Amino acid sequence: MFTLKILEKEGIPSALAKAERYRLLNEPMEAESICRDILEIDPTNQQALITLLLSLTDAFKQALNPAFGQAEAILANLGDRFCKSYYGGIICERRAKVHLERGGPGSGRIAYEWFAKAMEHYENALSTCSPGNQDAILRWNACARILMRHPDVVPASVETTEQMLE
């Protein structure tokens, strides 16, 4: 095995910038690696935790597990109620989108459940956000628009009723 090299504390700001750049380049594994290097020397660095969480959710399309469980574990380490609610919503929303894109039997019901959970998290985030922070509203509205565009994405009770009518 390899012994990983340790990042110097002075390198954290530029490493965070690189991690964000890799996320924007759709290279979540590289961003994840950088964040893990930062967290080795600064385990409570909120920016690194958030970027790591987002990098893991970026990877949901390739492999939902173990990334989903890892993202949820990181959520517990975020510092305030707003972040926990908001990023909990991001995790659920991105999982919903994976189910929606994959399709298949029951995917609409599963996607709906995850969108509903995301919207609930965003509602909770709204009650704790600072004035002027509209991020949770924007995410809630995005979920609502997706649900309005996809009439096949419905709760289990509606899906069952419609199947029985056919």
Residues 106/131, Cβ–Cβ less than 8 Å: no
pLDDT beyond 80 at 60: yes
Residues 86/125, Cβ–Cβ less than 8 Å: yes
Q: pLDDT of 21-52, one tens digit each?
A: 999 999 999 999 999 999 999 999 999 999 99
Paired tokens of 91: 């995790």
Cα distance between residue 153 and residue 6, in whole Å: 47
Least confident of 27-36, 138-147, 148-157: 148-157
Task: Tell me the mean pLDDT in the region 77-88.
Answer: 95
Alpha helix positions (H), the chain = 12-24, 28-41, 46-58, 67-75, 81-102, 107-126, 135-149, 156-165
Cα distance between residue 26 and residue 131, in whole Å: 31
The hierarchical CATH code for the domain 1-78 is 1.25.40
Task: Provide the 8-state DSSP code for 80.
Answer: S
Domain spans in the chain, listed from the N-terminal domain onward: 1-78, 80-166
156 confidence band (pLDDT: 50, 70, 90): confident
Instruction: Report percent pLDDT > 70 for the chain.
Output: 95
Paired tokens of 115: 């969108």
Residue-level pLDDT at 157:
79
